[in-house]
A = this chain, B = another copy of it.
Amino acid sequence: MATELSQSTLKEKSQRLTPQDTQSLLDSVDAFLFDCDGVIWKGDSLIDGVSDTLDFLRSMGKKLVFVTNNSTKSRRQYAKKFHSVGISVSEDEIFSSSFAAAMYLKVNKFPKEKKVYVIGEEGILEELELAGFTPLGGPEDGKKTANMKRNSFFEHDKNVGAVVVGLDQYINFYKLQYGTLCIRENPGCLFIATNRDAVGNLTDLQEWPGAGCMVAAICGTTQKDPIVVGKPSTFLMDFLLEKFNIPTSKMCMVGDRLDTDILFGQNSGCRTLLVFSGVTKESDLQDPLNQIHPEYMTTTLSDILYLPNNQF
């Protein structure tokens, strides 16, 4: 009983990362998994000290993996973005929710002759095409309007077997109707959400509606729940495990969101570190309604550079 109580207390209380904790994490963890928005960058601006921190971890022989819920880019486009902010990352190290959507269809043997309707941006289309599927919709439908005349009929492709919904800056009534009709009328049509983040740092200075906004809109009209492939779903973890052959207890998930990053880490059995450089404030963590408590918390990623014997 005493042990249970102490475990529960430990789970409820996150520890502020000390140089000693960092040393102990580095000694016991073989791979670091990073969220991007709010951890690596904000909008298009690299967060201070990130480049040095990643170099340091690589120099220690740690595997680095970037697990992002942002579906607007493909893995190729992400590698380009990393390059543009001065960080060298290979496509293989990137696990985006756009890639996750394509992989979900692949591992579930989605028929190649069926089509996939996309409410979302270019990244999803590119990953679907790379995986051999035929996407419809996406940015192309951003300027379409529905004919609302009395006897008009909104046609949709009966061959659409899945609707993928992610963050979409060009969301409109046409796409909402198209996706809804596919889900409601095409037998067995899948409804896949890249993720359900409420907001995202699309620009440097403020937050914007996230994929959770567009996904909720489709839930609201279809009254169905989606299959979520991004964080906190552990769908991507199977790929990570196969690729790196490292047990999850030797991985540490670093993120700025409790309900996606930290929950994903905990759901997968990883160590967890919350950084306050993104959407979560320390007061959110202490909110009595909050149920998600990371193992460690710290201001920003570069705090990892402060080791007991390393005076920066």
Contacts and interface: CB of A to CB of B under 8 A. Distances in A.
Interface of A: 43-45, 146, 148-154, 168-173, 176-177, 180-181, 196, 198-199, 202-206, 208-210, 212-223
Q: List the number of copies, as a whole number.
A: 2
A209 B180 contact: yes
B199 A210 contact: no
Contact of A220 (B169, B217, B221, B223): B217
Contact of A204 (B151, B170, B176, B218): B151
Given A153-B206, A213-B221, A220-B216, A176 B171 contact: yes
Nearest to A174: B169
Interface centre among A151, A171, A221 (most CB of B within 10 A): A221
Contacts of A199: 180, 221
B151 A169 contact: no
A20 to B, nearest CB: 36
Nearest to A172: B172
Contacts of A196: 220
A217 to B, nearest CB: 4
Nearest to A217: B217
B204 A150 contact: yes
A66 to B, nearest CB: 21
Nearest to A259: B223
Contacts of A170: 173
7 contacts: A148-B169, A153-B205, A169-B173, A171-B172, A176-B209, A214-B217, A215-B220
A176 B216 CA distance: 12
B213 A176 contact: yes
Contacts of A177: 208-209
Contacts of A206: 153-154, 181
Contacts of A212: 220-221
A150 B45 contact: yes
A43 B212 CA distance: 31
